[in-house]
Amino acid sequence: MPPNPCPRTTDELHHHVRARISQGRLPRAVPDVEMRVRAATGASCCVCDCPIDEYVEQELSDPRTHESLRFHTVCLFVWQVESVRLP
Ligand SMILES: [Zn+2]
C-alpha cells in the first residue's frame, strides 16, 4: 500500500467508496479503462475530496459521463477493490 495522504483512515476510505458507488456518485471501475498518471495539479480527489498533493495524480474518464476523475493513488486502489467487491 502506498502511504495515505489524506486524513481518512483506510477503513473510512473503504466505507466512503462503497457509499459513493451505491449512491451513484462514483462509477464502478471497469477493467479496460485507460488510466493516465500525471503531475499533480492540486485538484480534489473524487474519492476523499482532499486536494491531491502527492507528486502524481491518477486520472481516468468516468465511463458514464466522460468527465475526468482524479484520484490519490491510495484512493484509486480502494476504489478498484470496492468496485470488484460490491454485489
Ligand atoms: Zn483521495
State in Å: Cα 21 to ligand 1 middle.
15
Model confidence pLDDT, tens digit, residues 33-44: 788 999 999 999
Distance between CA atoms of 41 and 64, rounded to whole angstroms? 23
State in Å: Cα 69 to ligand 1 middle.
11
Which tops the pLDDT comparison, 72 or 32? Answer: 72
Would you say residue 1 lies in a domain? no
Q: What residues pack around ion ligand 1 (CB closer than 5 A)?
A: 6, 45, 47-48, 72, 75
Model confidence pLDDT, tens digit, residues 16-60: 999 999 999 999 988 777 889 999 999 999 999 999 988 899 999
Count the domains in the chain. Answer: 1
Compute the half-sphere exposure of residue 47: CA atoms within 13 Å on the CB side of its CA. 35
Domain holding 68, by residue range, is: 10-85
Q: Rounded to whole angstroms, what are the CA distances from 54 to 20, 26, 73?
A: 23, 22, 9
State in Å: Cα 74 to ligand 1 middle.
7
Would you say residue 3 lies in a domain? no
